[in-house]
Amino acid sequence: MTPIEFLAAFREARASAILRTDRQDLARLAMDAAVRGGFRVCEFTLTVPGAMELVREFSQRPGLIVGAGTVLTREEARAAVQAGARFLVSPVVDEAVIQEAEKLGVASMPGCATPTEMLRAFRAGAQLQKLFPAPANGPVWVTQSLAPLPFLRIVPTAGVTIENAPGYLKAGAFAVGFVGSLFDPADITAGRFDAIEKRARAMLAALA
């Protein structure tokens, strides 16, 4: 999958499921629940124990597009793509990681907190700009940033909920990413994967 193909698929999906947990034994089951709920774009942050194996496993499933998050080095980028990641996400703007993603032929999405950082990421070659951390007035921030910089593809993640996600898309966000609001740590620990599946369905329905 080329970056252009990924952009088209992500645009259609409108949302990604982003898993960050320290429970290696439950991570697979949590993402399984999100997939059953309808998510087709999945991200495992590299802070998840055994994340590379999970990327490898889920990337082999038909119909899923799997990426790696919290990618901080060229080495991590190469390992993630070798495992099957089709997009790389970072919490910061790091030109080395962006350049490595381009070299590897996958999309990159660095974390940006200001329009200046987003423009810097765009000029470095990042196809997407992750809004991280998300400001309190997120949708308004997106609208105001896109007014002078309409070529950006902004993807809010932290702080995105079923309540504010539609507003982000209406404001012009390219897509959104659900993290803790989808993967409630208490549900993961208690094994309430049916609750995660139910939330996944509701979140995607809210964006339809």
Q: What residues does each domain of the chain span?
A: 3-108+155-166+175-202
**Spatial distance between the Cα atoms of 166 and 114, rounded to a whole number of angstroms:** 22
- Give 112-170 pLDDT, tens digit per residue: 999 999 999 999 999 999 999 888 899 999 999 999 999 999 999 989 999 999 999 99
Q: What is the pLDDT, as a whole number, of residue 131?
A: 98
Q: What is the pLDDT of residues 41-80, one digit of tens each?
A: 999 999 999 999 999 999 999 999 999 999 999 999 999 9
Give the pair of three-digit tokens for residue 190. Answer: 């208690």
Active site residues: 43, 130
DSSP string over 62-115: TT-EEEEES--SHHHHHHHHHHT-SEEEESS--HHHHHHHHHHT-EEEEEESSH
Q: Is the pTM of this model over 0.75?
A: yes
Radius of gyration of the chain, Cα coordinates, nearest whole angstrom: 16
Whether the bond into 135 is cis, omega within 30 of 0: no
Mean predicted lDDT score pLDDT of the chain:
97
CATH number of 3-108+155-166+175-202: 3.20.20.70
Beta-strand pair 65-69/41-45:
parallel
